[in-house]
Amino acid sequence: MLEPLYTAEEMKRAEAGHDVDELMARAGGAVAEEALRRFPDAQRFVGICGAGANGGDGRIALEVLESRGKAARAAEDAPVEEADVILDALFGTGFHGEPREDAARAIEAMNAAGKPIVSVDLPSGVNASTGEVAGACVNATVTVTMHGPKVGLELAPGRFHAGEVVVADIGLDRAETEHRLVTPAILGHVPRRRADQNKYTSGTVLVVGGSRGLTGAPSLAAEAAFRADAGYVAVAVPSSTLAVFEQRLLEAVKLPCPEDEGTISPRAIEPIAEFASKAGALALGPGLGRGAGPREVVRRLLADLDRPAVVDADGLHDLEPVERRAPTVLTPHEGELARLLGVRSEWVAAHRLEAVRRGAETFGCVCLLKGADTLVAAPGEGVLVVSMGTPALATAGTGDVLTGIVAAFLSKGVDARLAAAAAAAAQQLASRAIPQSGAVASDVSAALPVVLDAPV
């Protein structure tokens, strides 16, 4: 369900007590074998090798390639432009910060050569422990990483420099790590409907949102909650939008609410709270609208109700920390998390691991940072990384779909951290089951039952 993701320090501990020369021989041999397998017709290999252990791995790889009849030289003996394949062994897992000027020039030369690049352990310039990239960074074709995947190979921006990642076994024992990579097996921990359950006991969800002109978002969230196996879904929406939802949502129950010019009014808090007392989970924010009224609705419902809740979209706007005992999940994208933390979105994009952990600690609940690498953080716990999705998810409405899935899993009594990670996994696996071109958010919802029924 959860696989290790290694930081630089965790790799150092994993290697402790082992013969360094033997490990380097295995690592260099693995790099050479992968290069030969991937590029069988290449004759000229040029390596950019640093002074540390990573450089040693690269030099051994060059020796193995030469023993196999290839022209394999270090860069000081052969210009990069003469290579069929470049070996990047400049920096290893111990690197952090910005490359020095001479190293940056070497990285830029590799990228500019227009040749395939095989990176040793991780692309030079990537922080192995965070995925951060502070300066020049290699754009690898393939990365051969030793023992297990590194945090920096799964988190943006580092993941976008790694190319295809191949894990090489160098004889180390598996170790526990702070951060973990989520696998499809996580879905086996989400309860399915049983024969002894009815629509109320198999999971009930109340979606609150749907301002005039924003009715699509709660509709997508409600449909996704149904498709994620909730047995009963209701929507609390402004009265003037009721006709839209009567047409759009056949299976969901509708709760028309008092409104202020098309947006749910604080006068709706009492009827929503009464209705929500029967719900297994709340989904607050899809299409809710912004302003003092919606903000007060979200604040009061979170403060007054003991129901599990997921907060997304407009529900996150101007959100302040609220002490809750009930499970709570926030699902921001980079811009939304930036506003919650009072920083720029560019900072969140560059420091995703730190940002999601800060979000969880600041709000005292689970924080799910959306993206190609979806990160799930909870106070005092390591981050779960979900990276099984496809570009089909880069379309409007998929965030609302994710909200509905999280709510459905929360309504089944799943722990908030696990529910968030499992929901992200379900959505990403669903994205694999649909056509990649022209996909829309409702396609993802439609694929959820097949994903949930698949053996894990």
- For 329-376, the pLDDT digits (tens) are 999 999 999 999 999 999 999 999 999 999 999 999 999 999 999 999
First to last CA, the chain: 9
Q: What is the mean pLDDT of the chain?
A: 96
State the Cα–Cα distance between residues 159 and 212, nearest whole angstrom. 39
Sign of CA dihedral 199, 205, 211, 216: negative
Q: Give the model's pLDDT for residue 82.
A: 87
State the Cα–Cα distance between residues 135 and 296, nearest whole angstrom. 43
Q: Give the model's pLDDT for residue 329.
A: 98
Q: Give the model's pLDDT for residue 236.
A: 98
Strands 2-5 and 179-182: antiparallel
Q: Give the model's pLDDT for residue 306.
A: 95
Q: Give the model's pLDDT for residue 347.
A: 98
pLDDT band for 75, please (50, 70, 90 cuts). Answer: confident
Ranking 76-90, 311-325, 376-390, 437-451 by mean pLDDT, the lowest is 76-90
For 119-138, the pLDDT digits (tens) are 999 999 999 999 999 999 99
Asked if residue 77 has pLDDT above 70, the reply is: no
Query: In DSSP terms, which residues pair with 235 in a beta bridge?
Result: 207, 254
Q: How many CB atoms lie within 10 A of CB 197?
A: 13
Q: What is the 3-state secondary structure (H, E, C) of 157-224?
A: CHHHHCCEEEEECCCCCCCCCCEEEECHHHHHHCCCCCCCCCCCCCCEEEEECCCCCCCHHHHHHHHH
